C-alpha cells in the first residue's frame, strides 16, 4: 500500500493503529509479538514521533519527516495526533487529504473521549477497521478521487447541519424578539395602569379641594348673612325702644 501504517493517539498513548504489513493483515505495530525489522523500525519512529508532538497547541498543526525513503506525516488538532507512513509515490496533497479524512471520522465517532482516555489502544477494535478501509481506498485505482468524494459528502453534510442550526438559532432569535416585545408591552401596560391610577388620584384630590373651597365659601356667606341679620335685628330693637 502507498500508506503502510497509520496510528491515532493522544498525549498519553496510541489509541488505534493499522499496518499493511503481513499481506495486509490487521496487525497492531505497538503490540506485535514478533515484528519484522522494518515494522519494528516504523513502530519505533512513529512511537518516538508521537511522544515528541506538542498536543497543547490550539491551532491545527501539520508537518512531515522523511526517513529511509518513507515520509512520516502527522496532523495534530484538539489534543489528538494522526500519523501515517507513506512511500515516496504519495504526494503531500494526498497525505493531507487522508489525514484530514481520518481526523473527521475519528472526531465524529469518539469526540472528547479520544483526548481523555489513558488506555492504550482503547479504540483499536472500533477504529482499526476504518483505518484499514481508508488505507486500502488510497491504494486502489482512483483512490484519491474517491477520498475527495467522501470528504465532499462529509462537508456537504456538515454544511447542511450548519444551515439547519443557523435556522434554528434564527428562529430562536425571532422567538426571543417576540418575548422581548411581549415584555415591553407588559411594561407599557403596567406604566399605563400606574399613570391611570395617578391621574384618578389627582382628579379626586382636585375635586376634594373644590368641594372644600365651595364649602368654605358657603360657610363664609352664611356667617356674613347671620351677622347681617343679627345686626339688622339689633338696630330694629333699638329703634323700637326709642
* Sign of torsion over alpha carbons 158, 159, 162, 167: negative
Helix and strand element counts for the chain (H, E):
6, 5
Helix H or strand E encompassing 7: strand 3-9
Question: Tens of pLDDT along 42-76?
Answer: 878 888 888 889 888 767 777 888 877 788 999 99
Cβ neighbour number for residue 129 with a 10 Å cutoff: 13
The pTM of this model reads 0.56
Cross-strand bridge partners of residue 8: 16, 82
The string of pLDDT tens digits covering residues 116-163 is: 999 999 999 999 999 999 888 877 665 555 555 555 655 666 667 767
In angstroms, the CA 175 to CA 70 distance is 58
What does the CA dihedral 38, 80, 64, 125 come to, rounded to 10 degrees?
30
Overall average pLDDT of the 171-191 stretch: 74
CA-wise closest residue to 66 among 96, 33, 88, 34: 88
Q: How far apart are CA 112 and CA 117, in angstroms?
A: 9
Where do the domains of the chain lie, and which CATH numbers do they carry?
3-140 (3.30.450.50)
Amino acid at each position: 500500500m502507498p500508506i503502510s501504517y497509520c496510528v491515532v493517539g493522544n498525549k498519553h498513548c496510541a489509541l488505534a493503529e493499522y499496518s499493511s504489513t503481513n499481506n495486509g493483515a490487521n496487525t497492531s505495530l505497538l503490540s506485535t509479538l514478533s515484528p519484522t525489522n522494518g515494522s519494528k523500525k516504523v513502530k519505533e519512529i512513529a512511537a518516538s514521533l508521537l511522544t515528541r508532538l506538542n498536543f497543547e497547541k490550539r491551532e491545527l498543526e501539520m508537518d512531515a519527516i522523511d526517513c529511509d525513503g518513507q515520509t512520516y506525516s502527522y496532523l495534530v488538532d484538539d489534543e489528538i495526533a494522526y500519523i501515517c507512513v507513506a512511500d515516496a509515490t504519495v504526494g503531500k496533497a494526498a497525505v493531507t487529504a487522508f489525514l484530514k479524512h481520518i481526523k473527521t471520522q475519528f472526531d465524529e465517532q469518539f469526540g472528547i473521549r479520544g483526548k481523555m482516555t489513558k488506555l492504550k489502544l482503547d479504540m483499536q477494535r472500533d477504529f482499526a477497521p476504518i483505518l484499514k478501509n481508508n488505507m486500502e481506498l488510497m491504494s486502489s485505482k482512483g483512490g484519491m478521487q474517491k477520498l475527495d468524494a467522501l470528504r465532499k459528502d462529509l462537508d456537504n453534510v456538515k454544511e447542511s447541519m450548519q444551515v439547519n442550526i443557523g435556522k434554528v438559532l434564527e428562529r430562536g432569535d425571532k422567538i426571543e424578539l417576540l418575548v422581548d416585545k411581549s415584555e415591553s408591552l407588559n411594561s407599557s401596560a403596567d406604566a399605563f395602569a400606574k399613570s391611570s391610577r395617578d391621574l384618578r388620584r389627582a382628579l379626586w384630590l382636585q375635586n376634594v379641594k373644590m368641594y372644600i373651597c365651595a364649602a368654605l365659601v358657603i360657610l363664609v356667606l352664611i356667617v356674613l348673612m347671620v351677622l347681617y341679620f343679627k345686626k339688622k335685628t339689633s338696630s330694629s330693637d333699638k329703634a323700637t325702644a326709642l
